[in-house]
Structure 1
């Protein structure tokens, strides 16, 4: 079959739906699927697990979580994604691999140079067809279609006794939490709890003791006007 080179648009002969057909005009390589020439790109990155853990720590600090992180696992994955760019603008990035970690938030396409995938590589082949991922007619009707390989860190860790997972984009260090973080518990000092309880007890006792609604409201206002500044002053003194 004859397909258009996704890089220069020249006609190229693709005998099968396999990867790395060559264009005789620009020399680029590409894959073909359903009669469409699809360019394959990747963003260069060398694995460094410290980068991933540092990005996670910075993200947790921004979220206000000061709890210690117990590292339990770090997996490095170069995952394929279908990238479509309609003529009317915008981009759409959809996973091309059936992987449990890729069923949640989809990474944002990082900035940087998209490089052609070399013929000698160990990247994982996509197992989700483009029509299944993007819908029928993908890559047709003025839509630019390509396959992009993104380097990702899959982090497993424990936080406050809970198992958590996070996806870190290797190039731009964006962090996507795949499991919600445990609620942060803040202990209340006994002094504070006693003062608040005493203030509430005064209001509870004053309520039934005063029969008139108008007088009851006046008593509540008086108690609030006197007790609230006193409680605030005592709490500040105890800090």
Structure 2
């Protein structure tokens, strides 16, 4: 089968029983989809699980989840994605692999240089055809189609007794939370509760000690005038 090289445009002879087809002019390798040569790219990255956990910790802190995180799993996956770029601008990135972690929100295409996949590499083959993944967008004229392998971290952890999952882009450390975070429980600090209780006890004791309604009202007013500003100042000081 004769096709055009997606890198230089030269005519190349492709054998359909192999994944990689080489161009004799520019030396690049590519794959064939629907009789069209499709360039394969990847982003260079060295695995470092600490980077992924740090990105998740920053995201949780930003979202107000201050509870301790119990790490339960970290998987590194270089997943294939179909990348379509219409002439009108923009791009569309969709998974080319049937994987349960790739069914929810995705971090998106990271910045960085897209490198041609070298011949003989062992990246995971896509199992979702471009037509199925992109739908109508795969058949529109003027659309550039390529296959991009993105390095991802698949993290599992427990937060406040709940199992959570997060997808981290290895290149730019963007995080996509695949499960909603547990609701944050609000508790009243002991200092605040003690001051409010003391204020209430003072009012109650004053009311029981004074029998006259007129004097009781005067005592309540005096307690409010003195104790309320003091309690407010102490509460603000403890924040």
TM-score if structure 1 supplies the norm length? 0.80
Q: How many Å separate the matches in 2 of 1:97 and 1:196?
A: 63
Shift of 1:23: 1.1
Q: How many Å separate the matches in 2 of 1:137 and 1:186?
A: 47
Match of 1:186, SS? coil
Change (3 A) 1:165 1:129: same
Change (3 A) 1:34 1:186: same
Look up the match of 1:35: 35
Q: How many Å separate the matches in 2 of 1:196 and 1:167?
A: 50
Structure 2 residue runs of 5 or longer lacking an equivalent are 202-223
Query: What is the 5 A alignment of 1:159-198?
Result: 159-188=159-188, 189=190, 190-191=193-194
Look up the match of 2:7: 7
Match of 1:101, SS? helix
Match of 1:138, SS? helix
Q: How many Å separate the matches in 2 of 1:159 and 1:83?
A: 34
TM-score if structure 2 supplies the norm length? 0.80
Look up the match of 1:150: 150
More divergent stretch after superposition (31-40 vs 16-25): 16-25
Shift of 1:74: 0.2
| Aligned residues: CA RMSD | 2.5
Q: How many Å separate the matches in 2 of 1:9 and 1:29?
A: 13
Q: How many Å separate the matches in 2 of 1:71 and 1:88?
A: 43
Q: How many Å separate the matches in 2 of 1:11 and 1:187?
A: 70
Moved over 3 A (4+): 189-198, 227-233
Count of aligned residue pairs for this structure pair: 212
Structure 1 residue runs of 5 or longer lacking an equivalent are 199-226
Change (3 A) 1:192 1:162: farther
Look up the match of 1:234: 231
Q: How many Å separate the matches in 2 of 1:166 and 1:174?
A: 10
